[in-house]
Amino acid sequence: MSNTLEAIHLLEDRLKSLLFNYNFLKEENEILLKRNTILQKELLEKEELLAHQTEKMNTLKIAKTIEGSIQNKRETKLKINALIREIDKCIIQLQE
């Protein structure tokens, strides 16, 4: 009989330990999920900032080329042609 009681107490102790670990891991998982959400938002903001800064840099390159810099002359011409095509598409859409 005492072996049965010892087995039951041992099982109870193990169950308590498992429940404690389960609750701890559940809370830790919730914290990590919140942190993950925050980090994803920060990453999105950084990506948007990078895109904005890249666009700004390209605009500055075009401005430098227009000022007379020869370095990015081909890029500027291509960009201007792309902008003209985009404007033409917008005009066609407005006419429809």
- Give pLDDT tens digits along the chain (96 positions): 678 888 889 999 999 999 999 999 999 999 999 999 999 999 999 999 999 999 999 888 777 766 665 666 777 778 788 889 999 998 888 887
Integer Cα distance of 49 and 55 in angstroms: 10
Please state the pTM of the whole predicted model. Answer: 0.54
CB-hemisphere CA count at 13 Å for 79? 14
The residue among 49, 48, 77, 47 whose CA lies nearest residue 61 is: 77
Domain assignment of residue 50, given as a range = 2-95
Residue with tokens 């201007």: 80
**Which pLDDT does position 34 carry in this prediction?**
97
Domain count, the chain: 1
